[in-house]
A = this chain, B = another copy of it.
Amino acid sequence: MKRRSFLAGAAAAAGASALPGPAIAQGRAEWRLVMPWPKNTPGVAVNAQRFADRVGAASGGRLAIKVFGAGELVPPFESLDAVMRGVADIGHGTPYYWANKSKALHFFTTVPFGLTATELAAWIYFGDGQALWDEVYAQFGLKGFYAGNSGVQAGGWFRKEIKTLSDLKGLKFRIAGLGGEVMRRLGVTTVLTPPGEIGPAMASGAIDAAEWVGPWNDLAFGLYRTAKFYYLPAFHEPGPALEVFVNRARFEALAPDLQEIVKAVASATANETLADFQRHNIESLDPLLTQHGVELRQFADEIVAALGKTTLEVLNEFATGDALTARVHASYMAFLRKANRYNTVFDRKMLEMRAKVLG
């Protein structure tokens, strides 16, 4: 409680001190960007750096953004607090990392059996998404911009095959997000091993299974050395989003052209980050299968049905949360049901048809 009150006070102070100072009056600003990823982490940190570099180039150096990796300025999971307090001006992350501040933030990253990357972008840019997200972040003196997506993630690495629901009981599984809560209700012991420790924890037997991202990042971590069965795809992460969040007062103090540059470059970064993940994931699947003896699996219908039923229970609980979270839940779910009907006959049928032709 004490820490929370301190943060609230600091955020108010940061708001006050963020009025145009000398640097901004001359039309130049230097910003500090924080993020929960170590520098150079593929997909995430690399695209955060590209975002910063492009803002610098597009503004002719009038808005220079210096990037700090996890722990360099603040600990990784304090990135949002740092931008609230004004210790940093801007951050790169993923909304559900801050779900302890508002449960509604899950919907701006991903939920189990939720929107794909393209559907999520549709809801954010042309549905209710951005306005609702603005309401959530306004509570913390922040503004968020959609800034990328990994696409459909992988379900995880399992040392033993999961054939029936009973195989889940007592399994020690590293899994992030609401998927962990769903698995817990089905008898799984879930843990959130930090990324860098997943490989060692699998190798030592401390955990039985682990999900991380997808072929590109999983190959880089060498997870294929710790388990043979690769379950695809992730029921729990159909298209997790990345974000750029800014201290709202600092953002509003920027000249209008610089505000537009931040906004446009965030959107360009969204476009190219998804392309980056897609390209490298596509190139990484074959090596896993042909060079590392990985075997692909998918959950049986019985397991999918149980995951689905439990997911809907977990998601329905958002409807009884605070009023804003309930509105976010209602808007997201209404769009999800329509998107599901649409892409069942568009994207899915296209992929089915194409596979008949290309094999």
Contact = CB atoms under 8 A, between A and B. Distances in A.
Interface of A: 54, 57-60, 113, 116-119, 121-127, 151-152, 154, 214-215, 232-235, 238, 255-257, 260-261, 263-268, 270-272, 274-276, 278-283, 285-286, 296, 298-299, 301, 304-305, 307-309, 311-312, 335-359
A341 B343 CA distance: 19
A276 B349 contact: no
Contacts of A264: 54, 58, 261, 264-265, 268
A296 B341 CA distance: 12
A22 to B, nearest CB: 20
A126 B261 CA distance: 23
A359 B215 CA distance: 29
A294 to B, nearest CB: 12
B58 A260 contact: yes
Given A268-B267, A352-B348, A113 B282 contact: no
A116 B265 CA distance: 23
A278 B60 CA distance: 34
Given A123-B279, A296-B345, 18 more contacts: A57-B257, A60-B257, A113-B357, A116-B347, A122-B279, A122-B282, A124-B275, A152-B350, A154-B346, A214-B346, A215-B342, A271-B271, A281-B342, A286-B341, A304-B353, A307-B357, A344-B351, A347-B347
A346 B276 contact: no
Contacts of A260: 54, 57-58
A126 B275 contact: yes
A116 B117 CA distance: 13
Chain B CB within 10 Å — which of A151, A271, A274, A285 has the most?
A271
A278 B121 contact: yes
12 contacts: A57-B260, A60-B255, A60-B256, A121-B272, A126-B276, A152-B346, A152-B347, A264-B265, A282-B338, A298-B349, A311-B357, A348-B351
Q: A-B pairs with the 8 shortest C-beta distances? A: A308-B357, A267-B268, A271-B271, A60-B257, A126-B279, A122-B279, A122-B278, A348-B351
A274 B123 CA distance: 12
A107 to B, nearest CB: 15
A51 to B, nearest CB: 10
A43 to B, nearest CB: 11
B356 A301 contact: yes
A118 B117 contact: yes
A261 B58 contact: yes
Contact of A58 (B257, B275, B335, B358): B257
A351 to B, nearest CB: 4
A282 B233 CA distance: 23
Contacts of A54: 260, 264
Given A272-B267, A282-B119, A350-B233, A358 B340 contact: yes
Contacts of A265: 264, 268
Nearest to A339: B282
